[in-house]
Homo-oligomer: A and B are copies of this chain.
Amino acid sequence: MSQRVPGDDTGLIHPTVIQPSDHAPWRQDRMGKATLFQSPRMLVGLNAFEPGQLHALHAHAGMDKLYQVIEGEGALLLEGREAPMKVGDLVVAPEGVPHGIRNTSSARLLVLVILAPAP
């Protein structure tokens, strides 16, 4: 059994094993976003940050968000503080908790993003 997922902009049939970095949505003007999987229950995507790019502090009502660093390093933005994140690091911002990401490095930063439920 496999499913093509409407909100998925890769055209993948799930389950398909992928290497996330193959789908990295780099762009020069702002943070790039890709959706790897989307159902009512879960959105799996990528946020791609060139040096200096950021996703400003924001929160999601009723949705938990997980970030995991796939490539590079940067800073997790929280209210009143920042925390460094490097390859493999993972963090969960429970619903309502403001969070963001800034690429504080001179190299690319690729982050896996999971929202549950999906927006």
User: Chain A interface (Cβ within 8 Å of chain B)?
Assistant: 1-3, 5, 14-21, 36-37, 39, 41-42, 44, 62-64, 66, 68, 70, 76, 78-79, 83-85, 88-99, 112, 114, 116-117
B79 and A16 within 8 A (CB): no
Assess the B66–A18 pair: CB atoms within 8 A.
Answer: no
Q: CB distance B96 to A1 under 8 Å?
A: yes
Residues B88 and A64 in contact, CB atoms below 8 Å apart? no
B41–A92 touching, CB < 8 Å: no
A36 close to B91 (CB less than 8 A): no
Shortest Cβ-Cβ A-B pairs, 10 listed: A116-B116, A42-B116, A37-B92, A41-B116, A42-B64, A17-B91, A3-B94, A15-B93, A41-B64, A17-B83
Chain B positions within 8 Å of A70 at CB level: 88
Instruction: Tell me, in angstroms, the Cα distance from A99 to B16 when the chains sit together.
Output: 11
> CB-CB < 8 A to A5: which residues of B?
94
Pull 26 A–B residue pairs with CB atoms less than 8 Å apart, ordered by A: A1-B79, A1-B97, A2-B97, A3-B97, A14-B92, A15-B78, A15-B97, A15-B99, A16-B91, A17-B76, A17-B83, A17-B85, A18-B91, A19-B90, A37-B66, A39-B64, A39-B94, A41-B64, A42-B42, A42-B66, A44-B66, A44-B92, A70-B88, A90-B112, A116-B117, A117-B117
